[in-house]
Amino acid sequence: MPTAPPPDQSERLKPSRFLLVNLLCAIGFGLVAMTICLPSMPQWQGFFQAEQASVQLTFSSYIIAYGVAQVIYGPLSDRYGRKRLMLLGFFIAALGSLACAAATSLTALTLGRFVQGAGAAAGMVLGRAMVQDYFTGGDRARIMAYIGMVMGMCAPIATVVGGQLHVLSNWRANFVLVTALSMTLFLTTWLSLPRDVLSGKGRAHWLREMFDSYNHLRKIPEFVAYVGVLSLSTGTFYIYLAGAPGVFALYGVGPASIGFFIMVVPLSYIAGSFLTSRLIKSHSDAELMLAGQLVSLGGIATVLVLALADVASPLAIAAPLILLGIGQGLLMPSTLAGTVSVVPALAGAAAGAAGLLQQMSGAVGGYVIGLFHHENAVKLAMLMLLFMSCALACQIWLRALHKNLPHRAS
């Protein structure tokens, strides 16, 4: 089974500050590239003379590529090292972003978004794998919580900046900015990450070994349960990202202001992640995960109740979903840490598989919400509630597995 040699102990315990900053930026980059154009999406229907479902496909195409590419980057990095794969990813993301900026049709924009997502995936999956490389035990969940805070900032900042660029210039300016960010991260990754240490094994059978890695992981019920919680919870958030701009537009919220309403959930995610970084010392991962799931469900249920009561205000969506953000902040760090630590030797493959299913869940949810005609937030809340309820079922299964299998697979 392919394994990459771990960093030596001193490097594991004391990664440089420059490396840590670059790691955080690399992980957050994919979410920035994903969300910066959200304020522009309601306008694309008229600009390209297309159906709303076709516009939503630009979002789903990014997510699909973002997920599929993680499956490839992850196991390849276990064998060939993280740095070179991450550099390749940022270069591809720059090419895709340029293609989006130059797109003259919705089809070209959709293809550009696909390429962009395929490149941006490298930062997410390899960044997570490097957390496994450089941190151990409780430090790993704490670092995941810090990563959660940074990621929580990415979507609100990106949507606000994207909305302002749309108003001050046009929607193409967002993709020009993402191109510049891609090339900046290419340079900082080249400077900050240590040289790849390779296993020295032959490369002829890398594809077979990649499938062997995933085949091994799929047979571990604990890993499957973790991924179920992770992917369905992420799908809930992506349904919100894809569907909320259209619902907010019904309530008179334009491109320049949408970002300020969307940012409520990611900012509250930062608060939840901060709570996790403090509570992890006194509460178990299982306790924090369950609390996060229940708080999230409570926020979504409140949106549904208000929508059924015909409360037609953007605050009737944004305010209750503060609970969704806090709940996700409590849930995700321990879930992410558990996913990559079930089989430490396959951290890259585990991060890739989890990333794929996260993005597939998000792509399905983001596309399905575009198929509905919205008069209010009822359908948005119902689909979010369905995904989060399924995630809770997976977590109940995971807790049962932990009771029956107290020792983690290795």
pLDDT tens profile 146-174: 777 777 788 778 888 998 898 888 899 99
> CB atoms < 10 A from the CB of 169, how many?
12
Report helix, strand and coil shares of the chain as percent, to nearest 5: 80, 0, 20
pLDDT tens profile 174-219: 999 999 999 999 999 988 877 765 544 445 466 777 788 888 888 9
Q: What does the pLDDT average to over 348-352? A: 76
CA-based R_g, the chain, Å: 20
User: Percentage of the chain surpassing pLDDT 70?
Assistant: 90
Q: What does the pLDDT average to over 364-376? A: 83
pLDDT tens profile 247-262: 888 888 877 777 788 8
pLDDT tens profile 38-90: 888 878 988 888 887 788 889 889 988 988 888 888 777 877 778 889 999 99
Q: What is the DSSP letter of 283?
A: S
193: its two tokens:
């990450």
| DSSP assignments along 21-69, one per residue | HHHHHHHHHHHHHHHTTGGGHHHHHHHTT--HHHHHHHHHHHHHHHHHH
Cβ neighbourhood burial of 338 (10 Å; 0-12, 13-18, 19+): buried
Read off the pLDDT band of 405 (50, 70, 90): low
pLDDT at position 238 over 80: yes
pLDDT at position 141 over 70: no
Which residues make Cβ contacts (< 8 Å) with residue 87, sequence separation at least 6?
A: 186, 189, 190
How much is the pLDDT for 4? 44
> CB atoms < 10 A from the CB of 236, how many?
27
Q: Which residue segments constitute the domains of the chain, with CATH numbers given?
A: 16-191+216-403 (1.20.1250.20)
Q: What is the DSSP letter of 251?
A: T
